[in-house]
Amino acid sequence: MRLRFAALVAAVGVALAACGGGPSAAEDPNAPIRVAVSPTPHGEILEYVKDNLAEKAGIDIEIVKFDDYNRPNEAVAHGELEANYFQHVPYLDEYRKQRGGDFAWVAPVHLEPLAVYSKQHESLQEIPDGATVTLSNDPANQFRGLKLLEQGGLIKLKPDAAVGTRLEAAIAENPKNIDFKDLSPDQLPRSVDDAAAAVVNGNYAIKANLKDPVLVESAENNPYANGLVTTPALAEDPRIQKLAELLRSPEVKNFINEKWGGVAVVPAD
């Protein structure tokens, strides 16, 4: 698994340094819950909770934003932060296999349907022989992308293909001899300019303001809901449980639907 260390934005380093000075939530039951998020949409959703719901619920939230998919889990595993909200269960499972760490999945919050974008073609059927298609280099989202491309008729996967199967080994039929290139998720939106098509994670598509996908993953019975993750020691902490309740509240579901129109981001069941 090629989990890539992306450079963190400077603000993240400052925020972590600031968080390190006081007692952790595990040591002090009245301490704030420090939560790592991807800026969009996770950070926006958590900011809504912090600004509108947290005080009344009696919890204090500190938000730490990361542009990288690896550091949020590391920060929780090492006790730098109490929780994170940026990932789905298949990603967390693969992370544990490759890097270890003791985590507890708390609750799903929202789904970002994966989508295929192209500036050159209006459908997958228009993609010519030998064209380049880009997709994620993290195994969980890469396999998810391959499944979406299979759904669109571009390829066929081997029956035993699964998360972690090498890209070339997962594909049974590639009738157009598509050249697949795997990139870190944050690079995928930029690849839309040059590739015939790109399979882009929802948060990065929103951040890059990508519009009019040629194919969108179905939200029905989708296992890739993003949710709240903490450590086993804090899984039953009243503040973590209250935060999960707020993230799944009708108010947050309304906020998600109003902000993203029930398309790019949808509340989890």
Tens digit of each residue's pLDDT (9 = 90 or more) over 93-146: 999 999 999 999 999 999 999 999 999 999 999 999 999 999 999 999 999 999
Q: Where in the chain is the domain with CATH 3.40.190.10?
A: 10-113+223-267, 115-216
What is the band of 13 on the pLDDT scale with cuts at 50, 70, 90? very low
4, pLDDT greater than 50: no
20, pLDDT greater than 50: no
Exposure string of 128-156, with b = 16+ CB inside 10 Å and e = fewer, is eeebebbbbbbbbbbbbbbbbbbebebbe
* Residue 21 pLDDT: 46
- The model carries a pTM of 0.81
Lowest mean pLDDT among 8-12, 33-37, 56-60, 218-222: 8-12
- Give Cα separations from 241 to 87, 150, 152, 235 (angstroms): 18, 38, 39, 7
Mean of the pLDDT values across residues 152-164? Answer: 95
Superfamily of domain 115-216: Periplasmic binding protein-like II (3.40.190.10)
Tell me the CATH class for 10-113+223-267: alpha beta
CB 232 within 8 A of CB 135: no
